Structure 1
Amino acid sequence: MIELPTQDGVRLIKNVMIPMGDGVRLALDMHVPCEDEGEDWRERPRPLLLEYIPYRKDDSEPYTGYHHYFARHGIIGARLDCRGTGSSEGVNTDEYTPREQEDAVAAIEWLARQPWSTGKIGMIGGSYGGFTCVQIAARQPPHLATIIPIYFTDDRYTDDCHYRGGAFRCYYDIGAYGVSMIGMNAMPPYPEYSGADWAGIWEQHLENNTPYLLEWLSHQTDGEYWRPGSIRGRYDRIKCPVFAIGGWRDGYPNPPLRTFQNLQVPKRLLMGPWNHTRPDSAIPGPRIDYLAEVVRWCDHWLKGEENGVMEEPPVQIYMQAYDEPRAERTETRGYWRAEEALPEGEERVYWLIEGGQLGNGPPSGTSAYDEYDYRPTVGIAGGLWSGGVPFGLPADQRADEIHSVTYTTEPLDDAVEILGWPKVILHVSSSAPVMAFAARLSDVAPDGTSALVCTGVLNGTRRDSMESPEEMTPGEVYQLAFDLDATGWRFEPGHCIRLSVCSADFPNLWPTPFRGRNRVYRSADRPSRISLPVVPV
């Protein structure tokens, strides 16, 4: 353990080594409140807020980040390297393993026993750290008092960076995260922090750590492999209060709403327009001082202060509105909406009918359809799936819509607001045995510009099950039912609502292997449609 000098009322404690039951030690850094250089931080118990991730804590500049911020507000800000990563001992073979979760439970209980701890431990983190928040909370460590998961998932198969609707994701796994973790886990610890042990820890990492990507590729269907890191279906295992934070343009818009709906504990939900970047710096804005809200939450649940945070509406959601769809824009028009609970939208159905229209009534006739050729590059205007890159918003959708089949309402007489999950039921066929179907909901301005609202994807081979795929029989008609991503959106009067259907989302999804010509049916016997969760304006 190394103690660095006090700066701005904070002392940095490097490489506290926490013992696990099998003898492996995990490395922890702490930013500790310390009013003056002579104060002994060990003699004053304080609550602690823990981040648990594999991204090498020692690469971060000392006295920075939200750990430092928390310390300046009377809470120890701590960061722990997962087993086999950074300065921690041991072997790392995959993400979100049961062993990783067991380590966190042991670390929380060890921290709670220390003389400088009040025994009140919270967890916070974005992305990986948000995942570990909910995973560990489901294991119910006795001293875990609250969690603040940010940009997280509840289901590692349906809502993570590996697969979507049974289709394999492309650029992010192969070109970014998957390969970057190979390099990150091969880097050495810092000798100035790990001391004489640094070379031995590094050798252990190099000889035994496994590329995560190999595991993801070997589990292309849903199943037991994905369950330890998922809380979907077992939300009741979480017993501590939860402050969930998400973003509509983040890669994980569904889990915060779904988790909030199912939790039976004190809870709060904050959904902004953000991508996968913290809400005080994210694109698009408006950006907010979210750390002030986190501290208020922790002052109540970790310090016991009655500060009114639990008397406020627990749901705070940004309702987006149309902006010119430019990939480089930095702001989103709209307004904040506060609710006592997530509103249950009233289902409004629009039917696919002739002439490329979305109609208010079902189609007539039989055997009517529209068809298109599968083009694997469709999707280039749809933006980048946001799991780490701070850019890549959707552009004008017309560049992709010319290679899709599209259906559009008449201009709206009144504003329409939706909150929740749009759902599609599509009757389709393909000339190929494997084909994905992508549905895009867009807001069309009076000048014809088309702005993406949200998307959904289903691999046709997963039409009945994510666990047991079945090839499509060429020419056979199938009914596909799937959700689009959750959203909060206001369609303005004079705008149109559009649904487009294609079979690609490049570069977000890996292309399917066969050429194909696909049909979308729109007849009385095969009524394709979209339903929107409409809430009061």
Structure 2
Amino acid sequence: MTAKRFLFILFFVSVNQFGFSQANNVESDYVPAVNGTKLAIDVYFPDNHKNRKLPVLFEFTRYWRGKEDPKTGNPIASLGKVDKNFLDHDYILAKVDVRGTGASYGVRTGEYTPTEVKDAWYIVDWVVNQPWSNGKVGAYGTSYSGTTAELLCATQHPAIKAVIPGWSDFDVYESPSRPYGMLATSFIAAWSQYVNWLDQNSVENLGASVRRVGEDFPIDAIKEHKNNPIVLEALTAAPYKDSKFGDFKFEELDPVHWKKEISESNVPMLVLTSWLDAGTAEGTLLRLQHFDNPQKVVMMPTSHGGGSHASPFLVSDKMVDPVPSVNEQLKLRLDFFDHYLKEKDKGVEDWPTIKYYNFGEESFKQSDIWPPENQERIKYYLNADGKLDNLEPDEPQGMDKYLVDFSVSTGTNNRWTTQMGKPILNLDNRNAADSLMLTYTTTPLKESLQITGTPVISLSLSSTHQEGGVFVYLEDVDPDGKSRYITEGGLLLEHRKLAKNDRFDEIPYHSFKKSDASPMPIDEIEEVSFKLHPTSILIKKGHAIRIALAGADKDTFNKVPTEGIPTLSIYRNKTHLSFLELPIIK
């Protein structure tokens, strides 16, 4: 079995979780949506549903609402633990194949398109008018269906009472489509191949078939999927945020586009996410700060979907059980929906606005505002001999050269590949990787330092090439010299121009638009500033802070430039400063 095929199977299993049968209490139907396009829906009922009107929980998915044996046509159990928990507590579940996927009709013209969002209104309206519905609905999901749960609020259907977006996308250009403006073929290619197999019902590759609606197999629906775009091809042809990804620009394909509608819905949200899952933590915090919906956030130290622990202080090369545990995560979801859909007092109003994991301390903190109280921003300057300290350099010409090493890697179990269902591993010892990068390290701290928020790097930089990228890793170095990954940031250098955005105040923002992109001038000093992904960590007394600079992450991002090896010059003198800015809690 090839590594790529294994990855597909891993993702297929992670998306469908562990199958629980519900064969006797499920009904399938087609519901007309925008322009009469028929979408496939499976409705699952709890055992004691007869003669009862119950609330309904939706999952809108592009990963098949259900599957069947391709030889016999018999349904294959495909409900997960989350689903079963809701059914066991008297919720009806409605699983929907979104437009152009599974057994639904239509052609996909992008991911999370405005048409797909509007489709959901019709499905909700159909459900609340069924005799078994009590008129109250919610939505939940992880990854794609976590995002569709949030986007359901944009329909502003009055029946929607609460949603639980889990590990969801917020700005789809920056995560996961083109992180840092770059193309990450390593995981995008796998996802592209996987969803293409799903859309074309590739039985030979998936070992299963999409679940039919009624007696007849959905041949005509699958034929319509033939014209679905190939995701990798579409992303490769769409390098900028104002590029078209399918029929729509990236700017039209995420919750940011629907901010007004989502905020006006006032639908309460329980947002589950992780510091180390692609860019989902940043999206979560931006939503919390700028969307008006009542929100409760749980920021975990887990892989995508919350299935395993990811803290580099506890995890090495083997999976560790997550915190909160899977069962605790199930209870959070259930209590939240019970509170808003069944009007049971579960104390949700008393939950902190955000409960977030603090690395180093390896425990949770909480706050009712973000950023937390007493946050300050302090600078550490890059200085001679690889030093990082609070003193501005006084050298007139200090500078370090770095010949980009294209063998640098964060491995194959990192914050990006976890989006394909993989655990996050091997971030607990970065010394070998550090030796291939340009590093700057503080002296051991005399007092512990609490970092919470979004770090920023500002570099006075020149390059021997017009094309290139920069990666910066923030690390904790223990008294034995062992370095651990904390977070990272990066930037394709053509996007270095800063722009204004209401969501970013003290944090540098890049538009990633074509009009703001330009090649690097060769051997000319440019100020390159960008954010790292937010984090929270206690750097303990005796530990040191390190930043490691690279021009590649070979197992995740495409090589830039494709030919040649740039030399990057980092200037660190009194005329051209380079520094790390950290958000600390006093």
Q: Do both share a fold (TM > 0.5)?
A: yes
Give yes or no for contact 1:382–1:452 (8 Å, CA) kept in 2.
no
- What does the per-residue CA deviation read over 1:292-329, in whole Å, with 9 as the maximum and x for residues that have no partner? 111111111111222211112221111112xxxxxxxx
1:371 matched to 2:401:
yes
Aligned in 2, Cα 1:517/1:192: closer, same or farther, shift over 3 Å? closer
TM-superposed deviation, 1:89 = 2.1
Give yes or no for contact 2:411–2:555 (8 Å, CA) kept in 1.
no
Give yes or no for contact 1:277–1:390 (8 Å, CA) kept in 2.
no
Match of 2:196 among 178, 182, 198: 182
Most deviating of 53-62 and 282-291? 282-291
Given the two structures, how large is their TM-score scaled by the length of structure 1? 0.90
Where does 1:385-534 land on structure 2 (aligned, <5 Å)?
Answer: 385=416, 386-393=418-425, 394-464=427-497, 465-468=511-514, 469-512=517-560, 513=562, 514-534=564-584
TM-superposed deviation, 1:93 = 3.9
1:156 matched to 2:204:
no
Secondary structure at the aligned position of 1:196 is classed as coil
TM-superposed deviation, 1:88 = 1.5
Q: Which runs of 5+ in 1 are unaligned?
A: 1-6, 322-332
Give yes or no for contact 1:12–1:63 (8 Å, CA) kept in 2.
no
Match of 1:320 among 334, 338, 359: 359
Match of 1:231 among 243, 255, 263: 255
Give yes or no for contact 1:461–1:470 (8 Å, CA) kept in 2.
yes
- What does the per-residue CA deviation read over 1:408-435, in whole Å, with 9 as the maximum and x for residues that have no partner? 1110122112111111111111000001
Most deviating of 424-433 and 398-407? 398-407
- What does the per-residue CA deviation read over 1:441-494, in whole Å, with 9 as the maximum and x for residues that have no partner? 000011111100000001111011411310011101110111101111111111
Q: Which runs of 5+ in 2 are unaligned?
A: 1-19, 68-75, 203-208, 244-248, 311-318, 498-510
Q: Kindly indicate which of the two structures has a greater share of residues assigned to helix.
A: 2
Match of 2:182 among 163, 167, 171: 167
Aligned in 2, Cα 1:23/1:404: closer, same or farther, shift over 3 Å? same
> In structure 1, how many angstroms separate the alpha carbons of the residues matched to 2:119 and 2:422?
31
> In structure 2, how many angstroms separate the alpha carbons of the residues matched to 1:503 and 1:145?
47
Q: Which amino acid in 1 is paired with 2:334? A: V
> In structure 2, how many angstroms separate the alpha carbons of the residues matched to 1:52 and 1:69?
18
1:286: which partner in 2?
323
Q: Which amino acid in 2 is paired with 1:461? A: E
Match of 1:268 among 273, 289, 296: 296
> In structure 1, how many angstroms separate the alpha carbons of the residues matched to 2:224 and 2:118?
20
- What does the per-residue CA deviation read over 1:320-363, in whole Å, with 9 as the maximum and x for residues that have no partner? 12xxxxxxxxxxx6001122223152112111111111111211
> In structure 1, how many angstroms separate the alpha carbons of the residues matched to 2:527 and 2:25?
58
1:198 matched to 2:222:
no
> In structure 2, how many angstroms separate the alpha carbons of the residues matched to 1:199 and 1:407?
59
2:227: which partner in 1?
208
Aligned in 2, Cα 1:528/1:45: closer, same or farther, shift over 3 Å? same
TM-superposed deviation, 1:280 = 7.3
Q: Percent identity?
A: 26
> In structure 2, how many angstroms separate the alpha carbons of the residues matched to 1:191 and 1:256?
33
Give yes or no for contact 1:33–1:71 (8 Å, CA) kept in 2.
yes
- What does the per-residue CA deviation read over 1:365-415, in whole Å, with 9 as the maximum and x for residues that have no partner? 222111111122212458432212322422522222222211111101221
Give the length in aligned residue pairs.
Answer: 511
Q: Which amino acid in 2 is paired with 1:129? A: S
2:40: which partner in 1?
27
> In structure 2, how many angstroms separate the alpha carbons of the residues matched to 1:278 and 1:449?
27
> In structure 1, how many angstroms separate the alpha carbons of the residues matched to 2:384 and 2:355?
40
> In structure 2, how many angstroms separate the alpha carbons of the residues matched to 1:128 and 1:63?
16
> In structure 2, how many angstroms separate the alpha carbons of the residues matched to 1:9 and 1:199?
25
Most deviating of 73-82 and 349-358? 73-82
1:49 matched to 2:54:
no
Give yes or no for contact 1:96–1:229 (8 Å, CA) kept in 2.
yes
Q: Which amino acid in 1 is paired with 2:457? A: V
> In structure 1, how many angstroms separate the alpha carbons of the residues matched to 2:174 and 2:211?
40
Secondary structure at the aligned position of 2:90 is classed as coil
Give yes or no for contact 1:381–1:396 (8 Å, CA) kept in 2.
no
1:144: which partner in 2?
160
TM-superposed deviation, 1:64 = 4.2
> In structure 2, how many angstroms separate the alpha carbons of the residues matched to 1:64 and 1:466?
38
Give yes or no for contact 2:251–2:257 (8 Å, CA) kept in 1.
no
Aligned in 2, Cα 1:270/1:89: closer, same or farther, shift over 3 Å? same
Match of 1:92 among 108, 112, 123: 108
Most deviating of 464-473 and 229-238? 229-238
> In structure 2, how many angstroms separate the alpha carbons of the residues matched to 1:381 and 1:495?
24
2:269: which partner in 1?
242
Give yes or no for contact 1:57–1:79 (8 Å, CA) kept in 2.
yes
TM-superposed deviation, 1:234 = 5.3
> In structure 2, how many angstroms separate the alpha carbons of the residues matched to 1:192 and 1:463?
49
Q: Which amino acid in 1 is paired with 2:529? A: A
Secondary structure at the aligned position of 2:339 is classed as helix
Measured on the aligned residues, the alpha-carbon RMSD in Å equals 2.2
Q: Which amino acid in 1 is paired with 2:271? A: A
Aligned in 2, Cα 1:443/1:102: closer, same or farther, shift over 3 Å? same
1:80: which partner in 2?
96
> In structure 1, how many angstroms separate the alpha carbons of the residues matched to 2:258 and 2:116?
19
TM-superposed deviation, 1:113 = 1.9
Give yes or no for contact 1:446–1:494 (8 Å, CA) kept in 2.
yes
Give yes or no for contact 1:425–1:479 (8 Å, CA) kept in 2.
yes
Q: Which amino acid in 2 is paired with 1:217? A: T
TM-superposed deviation, 1:177 = 0.5
> In structure 1, how many angstroms separate the alpha carbons of the residues matched to 2:523 and 2:79?
62
Give yes or no for contact 1:425–1:482 (8 Å, CA) kept in 2.
yes
Aligned in 2, Cα 1:112/1:270: closer, same or farther, shift over 3 Å? same
> In structure 1, how many angstroms separate the alpha carbons of the residues matched to 2:554 and 2:80?
37
Q: Which amino acid in 2 is paired with 1:195? A: E
> In structure 2, how many angstroms separate the alpha carbons of the residues matched to 1:172 and 1:303?
40
TM-superposed deviation, 1:279 = 4.7
Aligned in 2, Cα 1:49/1:466: closer, same or farther, shift over 3 Å? same
Q: Which amino acid in 1 is paired with 2:577? A: P
> In structure 2, how many angstroms separate the alpha carbons of the residues matched to 1:493 and 1:200?
65
Give yes or no for contact 2:185–2:558 (8 Å, CA) kept in 1.
yes
Q: Which amino acid in 1 is paired with 2:169? A: T
Give yes or no for contact 1:121–1:146 (8 Å, CA) kept in 2.
yes
Give yes or no for contact 1:12–1:31 (8 Å, CA) kept in 2.
yes
Q: Which amino acid in 2 is paired with 1:519? A: S
- What does the per-residue CA deviation read over 1:152-186, in whole Å, with 9 as the maximum and x for residues that have no partner? 121111122x2111111130012x10111111111
> In structure 1, how many angstroms separate the alpha carbons of the residues matched to 2:464 and 2:22?
67
Aligned in 2, Cα 1:451/1:27: closer, same or farther, shift over 3 Å? same
Give yes or no for contact 1:383–1:395 (8 Å, CA) kept in 2.
no
Q: Which amino acid in 2 is paired with 1:339? A: S
